[in-house]
């Protein structure tokens, strides 16, 4: 592959015949947030749009519209296709800046999250770029719509290991084709799939049994 950033295409995926076995690297963000959310989206093909997801989709459509620009000594590619044969991941980067070293930038509509789900998605982009360009990428950034500024991310050994572990786990889940039970928690209220997932009803058997008991008790009070 020609790794000269001047000749890298921003809109063409790899022609590698192994692409069928590659999974979308964006799935790592879903898996890190919630394994059940990942399965509902990537196995069961369930998606529910709400105001937040719509805003995020529009932001990404603007950010990763394929193209290139240059400002000063920085060349920017938008919508660049990425691939890692080692991790069997593929996807598209919102922005990759060449300073001249590659510097991936991921766009998010809201605030930074208390979990590492956004970090592993960005780290996966860096791992793909390192493999494609045969270079080391120490840092990248996430642009958050609130408060409209970049958060620089260092790709530490721990973050790299976490990302690679999630990638391996994602492939295992995909091969098993089984949707994990819910893990109810505060994160559920921020999920657009909460009314499809029904976390209290689809959690581990003891949790689900308590939910059913509450529903039966509530019905008895209404009679």
108 three-state secondary structure: strand
Domain ranges in the chain with CATH number 3.90.320.10: 17-180
- pTM equals 0.77
- Which pLDDT score is estimated for 54? 53
Of the two residues 222 and 140, the one the predictor is more confident about is 140
Q: How confident is the model at residue 48 (pLDDT cuts 50, 70, 90)?
A: confident
Distance CA 142, CA 171 (A): 25
Distance CA 208, CA 16 (A): 45
Query: Cβ(159)–Cβ(24) under 8 Å?
Result: no
pLDDT digits (tens, 9 = 90+) for 61-109: 665 678 899 999 999 999 999 999 999 999 999 999 999 999 999 999 8
Q: What is the mean pLDDT of residues 129-154?
A: 96
CATH no. for 17-180: 3.90.320.10
């Amino acid at each position: 592959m020609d790794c000269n950033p001047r000749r890298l295409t921003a809109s063409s995926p790899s022609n590698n015949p192994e692409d069928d076995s590659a999974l979308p690297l964006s799935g790592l963000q879903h898996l890190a947030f919630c394994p059940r959310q990942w399965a509902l989206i990537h196995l069961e093909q369930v998606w529910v749009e709400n105001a937040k997801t719509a805003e995020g989709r529009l932001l990404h459509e603007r950010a990763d519209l394929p193209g290139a620009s240059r400002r000063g000594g920085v060349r920017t590619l938008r919508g660049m296709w990425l691939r890692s044969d080692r991790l069997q991941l593929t996807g598209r980067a919102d922005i990759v800046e060449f300073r001249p070293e590659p510097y991936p930038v991921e766009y998010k509509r809201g605030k930074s999250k208390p979990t590492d789900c956004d970090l592993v998605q960005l780290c996966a982009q860096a791992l793909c770029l390192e493999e494609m360009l045969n270079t080391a990428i120490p840092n990248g950034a996430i642009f958050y719509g609130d408060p409209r500024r970049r958060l620089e991310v260092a790709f530490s050994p721990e973050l790299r290991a976490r990302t690679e572990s999630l990638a391996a786990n994602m492939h295992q889940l995909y091969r098993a084709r089984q949707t994990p039970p819910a893990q109810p928690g505060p994160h559920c209220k921020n999920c657009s799939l909460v009314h499809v997932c029904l976390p209290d009803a689809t959690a581990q058997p003891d949790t689900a049994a308590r939910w059913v008991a509450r529903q039966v008790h509530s019905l008895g009070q209404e009679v």
